[in-house]
A and B are shown apart, each in its own frame.
Chain A
């Protein structure tokens, strides 16, 4: 069945007509053109499709589009500030070698963001735990974990910079 849903997407309220059988990944990538959301396995095993829904990192490939009705969705495209300033995590991944082929990067960064929003003082173990559902074949995770740690080390003030304040609008 088709229906219209309303959601906050990367800080903008949108109305979009969907079919019940669409996954959130399909809506974002194929219908809304947000190709920063990657499909790595389609079964919730690799985390490449990670987006943040109401503050929580979820696998958009096993999440129905209809279920984000009234919710706040953040994809990698909405993470940098409106003026293009990179989010501290994006900057840190760039500067600390957290990115090689880049296919896991959007999901990896968003999982890290969900963690740091919840726990700005996350330890190495917390970080590894939070990224355990995001597979990477290039880096051996070492520089990815270091990239997240580098943000933790700073004051937690500049971490919560983007989106989310209008999460209850729906």
Chain B
């Protein structure tokens, strides 16, 4: 294993010749291939699309969190000039959405959350559609609602779905490896604690939207913001089937996406409503969310209540980890309900821990329904684990950094869940953070340091039955390359990474490679942009296709030039032998094309990573490799206001190989600030199911003035399975941020906040409690205790 450590400082990076010189484009800070279009305003997002004859759709949402729909009167709306179609839940066939198929796109009979879609309008312009929505009269009969998932489990709780008989989803997430009870008895030190996390939302700058368009033969084209074009195609196909269209084609076209972060991992009611309106009106229909809808009618990260106990022996070796969770699923079921499958990974495998038990309950409530968000449950689980790690280290009297060193995963480990750790840079990440943050530095008042680590899938994640991705490559007569990938670029730079991989393999320049990723009629299948899998899976897929072409090119060049294949190198758009150019690629291609029985240079490849679906006991090597990282932070707490300021931040990640260090830094910096928001400021405030802060004033994503100059440290472990050694990095940046900050706050002022977000009022209340409520802390200005009136 080759381990290279470098810091994201240009000078140091440029100085690091050993990794830079092997490749011409891999490892280079190459601009994103779509960046110029985006910098000049040419890039088209769903908002920017208009089709001839297009109508504008709007959705009417529920006025109650839980109510029977008695009557819907659409007469006035239908009478409004410009209104073409009005639909209610009664007007549509039984289309069902989501993982559990428990969600009709328009509700009939009953609403189960404020987000429930009750009716929809298509009109010739947006203002008319908006006006028409206000003219629809709905009579409701409110019924008792339930908003707390723990309460919802009680027998007397109102049922969200009566025919489901219980609010507990029938997804039994239970695992037990080793013997936790025996380990508890054996352990010298134990901790036991309850943690909770709340609703946070993706806040993509570009809101959600879709356009549905039928042709005369009832084939459907949907332009939509999606991270899962192929699965969306399947969902829309099912809707068509219900509408009575059999054997019709569905084409999904994905415009530029103004941010994904997991929000577009499923198809949603608005997409199917657009289809239904288009079906009924026989015209293209566009629905684009306003910001308030984006806050209220998209699916946030699921909140968790976590009970954890953990113990170690006298030397500090972890003996067991025992966790149980309750997840608020909300009123319907999307992938949020399956996040325990990923939470299992840190729970069983972050640090070496031989005995593990975990169970999770997903519970229906009358809140908005949840979805995965960057990390797929990992941030929630890691918050509890890494907070408890610090508590256990303290109980055992062992230095926090040392405690993590003792328990660090190592290359070659097989974890209790059966995860096969191949490359593992966790020890190096811990060292980098501990060295950089100077944990031993003399302490200032109100200032503290903390760290937390992560494990994440780095080689795909086999949640669906296939974890694959297809690629088709064609080369034209001049050596220009078109790559048709199943992967979805949502701003993270998948196109660029794929272009780099292909360019490197084919010895052409990045600008010679055009990556198409946005159209299911053109591009092969892919399971979607999730699980930080795109670089690894789509990268390997593209690499495999490019290798086939490279192989043929070398073969043909050898025939043409009479030089042995192994003496030829392919770089800079040509073949070289003994350092001299012998044949440009274009010439070779034209030669093979324009001749009797000529041929075109094309290849395809479907790559499905060597990972495993979970077995009945939830064990299995779900990813082909794993990413690791450690974050460290120094905070300053204003003990009078409870405000937390971040002074230094370092994020060390084992990424396998940095294919594009500039894009990699972007993923880390972006992930970190999103993680800081999760830790300190962000929360969807639900008051009895009603979103109280559906705007950027009160939903506090951080601003440029709050930005922290996080230092990104890259550990390259060059994974054998990864394309050029790379592992995934999309999600890890926001996984360990919250516990690192919580640990630093504890270090600074001796209070442990167990509930996210760590808002000033919570910090202050904790200080108050710690001081026996005789003091509200020290006024940072006067340096005096202030009494708590």
Contacts and interface: CB of A to CB of B under 8 A. Distances in A.
B35 A101 contact: no
A90 B407 CA distance: 47
Interface string A85-112: 0100011011111011111111001000
Q: Is the interface of A mostly helix, strand, loop or mixed?
A: loop
B48 interface: yes
Nearest to B37: A102
A80 B37 CA distance: 12
A103 B204 CA distance: 9
A57 interface: no
Contact of A35 (B32, B41, B203, B705): B41
Nearest to A95: B31
B697 A45 contact: yes
Contacts of A145: 704, 707
A52 interface: no
A135 B696 contact: yes
Contacts of B697: 43, 45
A2 B616 CA distance: 68
Contact of A102 (B47, B256, B696): B256
A129 B38 contact: no
B491 A90 contact: no
Contacts of B32: 94, 97, 99-100
A53 B203 CA distance: 28
Interface residues of A, number: 53
Contacts of B670: 100, 137-140
A135 B670 CA distance: 12
A93 B709 CA distance: 17
A134 B327 CA distance: 34
A135 B48 contact: no
Contacts of B35: 93-94, 99, 102
Contact of B704 (A48, A77, A141): A141
Interface string A110-152: 0000000000000000011101111111111111110000000
Nearest to A91: B39
B583 interface: no
B205 A143 contact: no
A165 B205 CA distance: 33
A48 B259 CA distance: 13
B205 A136 contact: yes
Contact of B672 (A77, A101, A140): A140
B736 interface: no
A96 B39 CA distance: 12
Contacts of B701: 135, 137
B704 A109 contact: no
B673 A140 contact: yes
Contacts of B258: 38, 101-103
Interface string B480-524: 000000000011110000000000000000000000000000000
Contact of A109 (B39, B44, B203, B673): B39
Contact of A100 (B493, B707, B710): B493
A90 B703 contact: no
Interface string B33-54: 0111111111111011000000
Contacts of A80: 40
Interface of B: 29, 31-32, 34-45, 47-48, 202-207, 256-261, 290-291, 490-493, 662-663, 665-666, 669-674, 695-697, 701, 703-705, 707-710
Kindly list the 4 A-B residue pairs having the minimum CB-CB distance in the complex, ordered from nearest: A36-B41, A101-B491, A102-B38, A103-B258
Given A103-B204, A141-B673, 20 more contacts: A38-B45, A40-B207, A41-B696, A90-B36, A94-B32, A99-B35, A100-B670, A101-B490, A102-B39, A102-B43, A127-B704, A129-B705, A133-B703, A135-B703, A136-B205, A139-B670, A140-B669, A140-B710, A141-B669, A142-B665
